[in-house]
Structure 1
Amino acid sequence: MALLTQLNDDLKTAMKAKNKIELNVVRSLKSAIMNEKIELGHDLNEDEEIAVVARGLKQRRESLDEFERAGRQDLIDETKAEITIVERYMPVQLTAAEVNDVVKQTAAEVGATSQADFGKLMGAVMPKVKGKADGKLVNEAVKKLLQN
């Protein structure tokens, strides 16, 4: 529940500062966590909270891609600011080199050597990097390793 407490504190701070973007982002994250809590019927543990925040981050990144394709600079700037705010609630993200190391180590553990082992390797890597690395980055690292 530490994340929910932090969100409540940040919500108050954003209200006092009259920071509309931060206020909207914090409210949406808090709402998403509360909705997930209601849906699951129990208080969320830290991993479940991070998963909710990661979903919010992924949605904003997908929106950013759409806005960039449409050339909507006003929405691009706002979405980038939102992404920066959401990232504050995520654990420290792994670098590409660290993701590659995890992928190589996991490939050795599960014996993945060819493209046919893609699903098996992804299934083994994702729980290890959950919340710490973007799925797209992991996907690219796995593809690169299995192509060699």
Structure 2
Amino acid sequence: MSECQVMEVLTAAMKDAMRNRDKVRLGTIRMALSELKRIEVDEKSIDDTRALAALDKMAKQRRDAISQFESAGRTDLVDQEKRELAVLHDFLPSQLSAEEISQLVSEAIRESGAESMRDMGKVMGIIKPKVQGRADMNQVSQTVKQLLN
């Protein structure tokens, strides 16, 4: 089982968090490493692309939890989820701007020859690997819908 660079970076960050006694950061990194190791065992290996996809999924789960806790008025849990989300963002590639997403979607539409909403799956299939971990897929989906209409 080979280790990917994302796991190496997370392991080094975990050691730093232990030295600095940063409980929130340490807990979040341990949770992320645990998930990546589970994936590695299940799939026999893990590469950086798969690791970033898993971290992106964890970040999305935090964003969803934040909106649910906010609607329930649980500010204590919102704060915890926001701290965890901030830690996860440290290990994800920089996020794309709305302009960059729009440009990538336009290129994917041209590349796929999409003409209507029926072709949305083709466009998403082309764009997803390019933006994985760098953009919220809901935002990408909305941009595709706008440009196909």
Q: TM-score if structure 1 supplies the norm length?
A: 0.92
Q: Which 5+ residue runs of structure 1 have no aligned equivalent?
A: none
1:91 to 74, 90, 93: 93
Aligned residues: 146
Secondary structure of 1:77's match? helix
Runs of 4+ in structure 1 deviating by more than 2 angstroms, as ranges, are none
1:18 aligned partner: 21
Q: What CA deviation, in whole Å up to 9, does each residue of 1:104-144 have, x standing for no partner?
A: 11111111121222222222221222222211111010011
1:33 aligned partner: 36
2:59 aligned partner: 57
In structure 1, distance between residues paired with 2:5 and 2:87? 17
1:116 aligned partner: 118
* 1:129-148 matches, cutoff 5 A: 129-147=131-149
Q: Alpha carbon RMSD of aligned pairs, Å?
A: 1.2
Displacement, 1:99? 0.5
In structure 2, distance between residues paired with 1:70 and 1:113? 41
* Larger deviation, residues 118-127 vs 92-101: 118-127
Q: TM-score if structure 2 supplies the norm length?
A: 0.92
**Seq. identity, %:** 34
Displacement, 1:13? 1.7
Displacement, 1:12? 1.7
Amino acid at match of 1:36: I
In structure 1, distance between residues paired with 2:126 and 2:100? 16
In structure 1, distance between residues paired with 2:19 and 2:129? 39
In structure 2, distance between residues paired with 1:56 and 1:33? 11
